[in-house]
A and B are shown apart, each in its own frame.
Chain A
Amino acid sequence: MDLGFDEVQMLLKNSAREVLEQECPITLVRAMEEDERGFTSELWQNMAELGWLGLSIPEQYGGQGMSFFDLAILLEETGRFLVPGPFFSTVVLSSSILTEYGTESQKSEILPKIANGDLIATVAITEPSATYESNGIQLTATKDGSNYVLNGTKLFVNDAQIADIILVVAKTDDKGDESNGFTVFIVDKNTSGMTITPLDTIASDKQAEIVFESVSISEENVLGEVGKGWDIAKRVIDLGSSAKCIEMLGGADRVLEMTVEYVKDRTQFGRPIGSFQAIQHHCANMATDVEGCRYVAYHAVWRISEGLEAQKEISIAKAWVSDAYRRVCAIGHQSHGAIGFTKEYDLQLYTRRAKAQELAFGDSSYHREIVAQQLGI
C-alpha cells in the first residue's frame, strides 16, 4: 500500500497549483460567473499548452497518455481554484469515453482537437425527469435510412452553449432495457433542430436545456454500438461521480484553510476567535471531514484507473463526500460569522458550487441506495 503521490504526480500537482495561482485568480472566477460563455480562451489555450486538456488522451491522438488517476490529481487543484470552463465536460467525461468507445476515425478526428484546445465537448444524459437512472431517459432516436432522428429534451447539460459536440444518450428501442435499448450519438452543435436555452443555476455554472426537434444524425456518429449506450452512460456517471469527489476534496480543503486563516485573525473579546474551544471544535470537525474525503475519493478513482470493479467504492465516496463538503461549507460559514454570508467574501463561491457538485452524478441519497443494494439489504 502506498498512499502517496509519485514524483511525476507531485510535479503535476505542484505545477498545477503554481499555474492556477497565477492564471486563475478569484477575480477571474467571479468574472466568469457573469460571463455568457463562462471561460476565457486564454486560460483554455494555456491549459492546452500545459498538456492538461489531453492529459489522459493517448499519445497517438495528441495527448499525454496519463491515467485517470493522474487526471484526478489535477482535478483536486481545479476544484481548489474553482477553475471556470468546460474542463470537466470536455476532458474528464468526453475525452475519456471517446477514447474508450470511439472508432478509429472518431478518435483521430476529435481527440487531437480536444488536446490542443480547439474543440469543446460535453455529455447530455439527464432530462426533465432529473434522474441518473435509465428509466429517466425519454429522448428517442428513431432509425430513418442511414440516419437517426432525435426528439426530446435534455436538461442540466453542462457547457452545452459553448460545446462543439454533444454526446447525447438516447433511447433507440422503446421496449429495450439497459442492455440493449440506448445509444449514444455524437451531435455537432450546428445540426439543425436543436434549441439550447441557458439555465440560471446556484453555482452560476453553465448548464442548459436542449430541445431536440427532428434532429437528424448520421449513423456514423453513433458512439460505441447501437443499443449499448447505457454502458457508456453508466461509465460517464462512474467517472463523473468519482472525479467530482476529487474536485470537491480540493474545494473542501480550501474552505478549511480559509476558515482556519480567518479564525486566527478575527478578534473578539480581546482574543482571536480561534482560541475559543467552540470554534476550535468546529475546525476540528471540518478537518475530520476533509481527511475522511481524501482517501475514499482517491480509492474510488484508483480502482477505476486500475480497471478494478469499483461500484461500491464510487458510491461510498460520492455519498460521503457530497455530504461532507456541504458540512464543511456550513461550519465554515458558522465560523466566519456574518462576513461569510456576503457576496463579496469568497466563501460563498465554494458553498454554491458544493451544492451543484453534490447534485451532479447522483447525490448522497442516490449513492446510498447503491451502497444498500451492494450490502444486500
Chain B
Amino acid sequence: MDFKFSTEEETFQNDVNGFLKKELPSDWTGETAYASSDDGWNFNLKMKKKLAEKGWLTLGWPKEYGGMEASIMSQVLFNEQMAYNRAPGIDIWGIKMLAPTLMVHGTEEQKQRFLPPVANGEVQWCQGYSEPGSGSDLASLQTRAEVDGDEYVVNGTKIWTSNGHRADWIILLARTDTDAPKHRGITMLLVDMKTPGISVNPIVNMAGMHEFNQVFFDNVRVPKRNLVGEENRGWYVGATLLDFERSGVQYSAEARRTIDDLVGFIKDNPSSNFDLSGREHLRNRLADMAIETEVSRMISYNIGFMQSQGFVPNKEASICKSFSTEMEQRVAETGMHILGLYGQLTSDSKWAPLRVRIERTFLRHHSATLASGTSEIQRNIIATRGLGLPRA
C-alpha cells in the first residue's frame, strides 16, 4: 500500500485550489443550493464556463470525446477540492450521467449532438426517474411513452427533479411496454424541456430552497432519434456500471469543511458561549466527527483506487454512501449542539454564527440519506449483492 498521491496528482490538486481561490469570492462560504436563486444560478453558470475552459468539466472523459482522460485519482482529488470549497459549476446530470451513458449506448448522431454542449458548459440537464408512486421501487414507474409514427408520446409525471426549473433537457425513463415484467418495459428518452406539453411545478424544501420540482408530461412528443439504446432496455441502460469516478469523496470533503469551520469558529471565540471547555461531551463529539470523516475519506480513496485498477465498486460504493451521508447528518447535528440557541438563527446578521451555514447544512442534510438511493436501499444492496444474502 502507498497512501501518497503522485507528484502530478499533487500538482493538479494545487492547480485546482489556486483556481478556486482566484474564482470564488474572498468571503465565499458556499451556497450549495445555487439553483434556488437567480444570483446563485448565474454564478453557477459563470463557474461552469470557466471550468469548461480549463477542460475540467470533462476531466474523466475519454480523449475522443474531447475529455482529458485524467486518472481516477485526479478526478477524486478534483471532486474533493470542489466539495470542500462548496464550489458550484458542475452539472452532474450532464457530465456524470448523460455523457457516460451516451458513450456506451448512444448513436454517433446522439454523441455529436449532445456531448459538446455538456463539455462546453452550455447546457443544463436534469433527471426524470422518480415518480410520486415510484421512489425506492423505481422500476414500478408509470409514465407512459407510446409510439406514434416517428415519435413517442409521453404522458405522466416525474418528481424530485433537481434543477428541473433550470434545465434545458431531461433524461427520462418511461414505460413503453405495460405487459412486460417491470424492469423490461422501460425506455430511456432524451427530452427537450421546451417541448410543448411539459410543465414544471416548484417544490420548496424544508430549508426554504427551491431545488427540486415536479415535472408533468401531457402528450409530449419526442422524436425517436432521442431514444437511448434499445426500446424496453432503459432500465439496463440507466444502470450501466460506468467507469467514472464514484468514490463519494464529496461527502467527507463537505463534512471536513463543516468541522474545520466549527473548529475555526470555536478558536476565534475563546471564553464565549461557543467555548468547549467544560463541555466535554461536545468536545468528544466533535473529535468523533473528525474521526468518522477520516474513515469516510479512506473508504472513498479505496473506491477510487479500486476503479483505477479496473474493479467495479459495488458494495463499497453503497457502504460509502450510507455511512457518509449519515455521518454528514451527525456532523451537522453536532454543529447545531455546539451553537446552542444561536444555531436556530436563519438569516445572516451580527448574531448569526458562521453566517447560518450550520443551520443550512443541518436542514439540507435531511435529504442526504434519501437522494440517490436511501440508506435502507444501500443496506439492501450491501447485504444482497455485497454479502450474498438471499433476497426477501
Contacts and interface: CB of A to CB of B under 8 A. Distances in A.
Nearest to A276: B392
Interface string B349-392: 00000000000000000000000000010111011101111111
Contacts of B384: 280
B7 interface: no
Interface of A: 1-5, 69, 260, 263-264, 271-272, 274-277, 279-281, 283-285, 287-288, 291-292, 294-296, 298-299, 302-303, 313, 316, 319-320, 365, 368-369, 371-372, 375-377
Contacts of B301: 1, 3, 295
A319 B292 CA distance: 10
A2 B308 CA distance: 9
Q: List 5 tightest A-B contacts by C-beta distance, closest first.
A: A295-B298, A280-B383, A284-B379, A284-B382, A372-B287
A377 B263 contact: yes
Contact of B389 (A69, A283, A299, A375): A283
Given A3-B305, A5-B1, A284-B383, A274 B390 contact: yes
A320 B291 contact: yes
A296 B382 CA distance: 20
A264 B304 contact: no
Most buried by A among B266, B294, B295: B295
Contacts of B383: 274, 280-281, 283-284, 287
A280 B389 contact: yes
Contact of A2 (B299, B305, B387): B305
A1 B304 CA distance: 9
Sort chain B's interface into a size bin. Answer: 35 or more
B276 A320 contact: no
A276 B380 CA distance: 10
Nearest to A293: B295
Contact of B276 (A291, A316, A377): A377
A377 B334 CA distance: 14
Contacts of A283: 382-383, 387, 389
Contacts of A303: 3
Contacts of B316: 291
27 contacts: A1-B3, A1-B4, A4-B305, A272-B389, A274-B390, A277-B376, A277-B392, A280-B383, A280-B384, A281-B380, A283-B389, A284-B382, A287-B315, A288-B382, A291-B316, A292-B298, A294-B298, A302-B1, A302-B3, A316-B291, A319-B287, A319-B288, A320-B292, A372-B286, A375-B263, A377-B263, A377-B286
- Which label, helix, strand, loop or mixed, suits the secondary structure of the A interface? helix
B61 interface: no
B2 A371 contact: no
Interface in B210-258: none
Contacts of A291: 299, 316, 319
B305 A292 contact: no
Contacts of A280: 379-380, 383-384, 389
Contacts of B259: 375
B267 interface: yes
Interface string B262-292: 0100110000000010000001101110111
Contact of A69 (B1, B4, B266, B309): B1
Contacts of A288: 319, 322-323, 382
B297 to A, nearest CB: 9
Contact of B388 (A264, A299, A302): A264
B3 A292 contact: no
A205 B379 CA distance: 36
Interface in B293-313: 294-296, 298-299, 301-302, 304-305, 309
B5 interface: yes
Given A260-B387, A377-B267, 16 more contacts: A1-B305, A4-B1, A4-B309, A260-B389, A277-B392, A284-B318, A287-B382, A288-B319, A296-B298, A299-B298, A316-B290, A316-B291, A316-B294, A319-B291, A320-B294, A377-B287
A375 B299 CA distance: 21
B298 A263 contact: no
B73 interface: yes
Given A264-B390, A287-B319, A291-B316, A371 B287 contact: yes
Given A295-B302, A299-B3, A377-B266, A368 B284 contact: yes
A2 B1 contact: yes
A272 B389 CA distance: 9
A294 to B, nearest CB: 8
B319 A377 contact: no
A117 B376 CA distance: 51
A288 B3 CA distance: 21
A377 B282 CA distance: 10
Contacts of A319: 287-288, 291
A250 to B, nearest CB: 16
Contacts of A69: 1
A344 B311 CA distance: 40
B389 A3 contact: no
A4 B1 CA distance: 5
